[in-house]
Amino acid sequence: MDLASLTVTELREQLRTRAASPLEALDAIERRIAAVDPLIHGYLHRDLDQARALAASADVSLLLGGVPIAIKDVLNVRGQPCTCASKILRGYVAPYDATAIARLRAAGAIPFGRTNMDEFAMGSSTENSSVCTTSNPWDLTRIPGGSSGGSAAVVAAGEAYAALGSDTGGSIRQPAALCGCVGLKPTYGRVSRFGLVAFASSLDQIGPFSKTVRDSALLLNAISGQDPQDSTSVAQPVPDFTAALGSDLKGIRLGMPKEYFIEGIDPQVDAAVRAAIKQCENLGAEIVEVSLPHTDYAVAVYYILATAEASANFARFDGVRYGHRAANPANLLDHYGRTREEGFGPEVKRRIILGTYVLSSGYYDAYYLRAQKVRTLIRQDFTQAFERVDAIICPTSPEPAFKAGDRTGDPLKMYLADIFTIATNLAGNPGISIPCGFAAIEGAQLPIGLQLIGKPFEEAQLLSIAHAYEQSTPWHLRHPPLSR
């Protein structure tokens, strides 16, 4: 048996019964990485000596004891580089652990590799990375989605048992959909953001990528909970998210938002999602049509608020404290100007300029304030829909993975890749993407994602619905055609 092909749940069993050791689990992943990462380019960095030392002393009786986990390059892991795939942070080594990482460690997991991403999590294809592009394991000429494309690709390609990513407007769910794995964005406030390099602080949330819904529940168990270091983390009890798995869908009401089944969706995506909804009905769910009337404004509101927050957050990259510093500055302004000019890529610059503009006096009321008001309306749409249903069911992405290079010249087209995920971040609700079929395009089989959106802090129910669907379908059992 190849250990690398196991789920986290299966691997834990192997480790706990001493059928395999944490070192063997790590070696199996390393062999797989050596075989396929030259094709995928999912990892930016791995510290094997550190990982092997941790594996040698891992306590396999813990929740994730001895399980190696891949980490998006946006989370601080003490002693490892943290560059957000940006030139401006090249050479920066994290001096501390993010809370989510400290909690993974407390659960016995080994944060062992850094995964590629769009620079500072800005993008939908991982093509904005300053280091390299990552390939979709199902078709190497296509993008893995983004911004957490590295994490999604390494899980889908069997180069990681599971991974962490971050989701500001869809960056966990959209790449999970495009790579054919499970991706969960928890409720805003469920997981501490301490040690996550901030993009848009009111939208960012950390969450897991995994091969199965049960594995995501396990990881969420480890990383959830209030944290005195993050005032936006919420004092909600953390249930055992695996406890509710296994129930059926009888009595569950699922809402189909009519604004999410629109013209322009790829016909194979539309058909797969409708078939998935039918399957949930077969499993006992009642399907109800709901309306989220302000959906049309979500992308515009997001790009005003996310860029405004980013422009404020990114003031800290000044060449004084972290990473890149321009050589021989003539004076302080020249130092700031050239450091940022040399360090940031074009998408990051575009957003800082846009965000500064919408916050500037004279435009603040017209853009930023107005967008905040519409954000409230979008949140109310969800509150109202959830008076009638337990979860919302819809596509994760309007189409399967697109070709590398297809959208790099057209930022607005790229922004539309998150049309079905962005509103969830504006509202704060949890959302999950799970595999629900494949599209046959130009000889490739491309995964399709089903999105389920839940009530705030009801991840247990969301995971249980996702699990019931997953277990009744074969989609999560298929592997990309890379040689194993």
Binding site for ligand GLN (CB under 6 A): 121-124, 147, 167-171, 199, 306, 418
Could you give the CA distance from residue 60 to residue 460 in angstroms, rounded to a whole number?
25
Could you give the CA distance from residue 129 to residue 143 in angstroms, rounded to a whole number?
12
* Known catalytic membership, residue 278: no
Residue 122 CB, shortest distance to ligand GLN, in Å, is 5
- Pick 173 or 294: Cβ nearer ligand GLN: 173
Distances in Å between the Cα of 329 and the Cα atoms of 132, 335, 418 are: 29, 5, 40
- Pick 171 or 233: Cβ nearer ligand GLN: 171
* Parallel, antiparallel or unpaired: strands 431-441 and 182-185: antiparallel
* Known catalytic membership, residue 171: yes
Nearest to 205 by CA among 465, 458, 434, 429: 429
Residue 438 CB, shortest distance to ligand GLN, in Å, is 23
DSSP result, 213-240: HHHHHHHHHHHBS-BTTBTTS-------
Among residues 86, 166, 171, 311, the one annotated as catalytic is 171
* Parallel, antiparallel or unpaired: strands 162-167 and 205-210: antiparallel
Residue 425 CB, shortest distance to ligand GLN, in Å, is 7
> CA triplet 24, 67, 238: central angle to 5 degrees?
165
Residue 308 CB, shortest distance to ligand GLN, in Å, is 13
DSSP state of 482: S
Q: Which two tokens stand for residue 434?
A: 């799970």
Residue 355 CB, shortest distance to ligand GLN, in Å, is 11
Among residues 125, 129, 147, 148, the one annotated as catalytic is 147
Distances in Å between the Cα of 192 and the Cα atoms of 143, 201, 225, 360 are: 29, 11, 7, 30
Residue listed under structure tokens 């990309």: 480
Could you give the CA distance from residue 302 to residue 300 in angstroms, rounded to a whole number?
5
| Element housing 450 (H / E) | strand 444-454
Count the Cβ atoms, other than its own, within 10 Å of residue 94: 18
Residues β-bridged to residue 183: 209, 433
Could you give the CA distance from residue 87 to residue 100 in angstroms, rounded to a whole number?
25
- Pick 161 or 420: Cβ nearer ligand GLN: 420
- Pick 3 or 44: Cβ nearer ligand GLN: 44
Nearest to 178 by CA among 396, 479, 14, 353: 396
Residue 89 CB, shortest distance to ligand GLN, in Å, is 16
Could you give the CA distance from residue 171 to residue 149 in angstroms, rounded to a whole number?
8
Residue 463 CB, shortest distance to ligand GLN, in Å, is 21
* Known catalytic membership, residue 455: no
Among residues 72, 185, 211, 455, the one annotated as catalytic is 72
Q: Hey, which residues are catalytic here?
A: 72, 147, 171
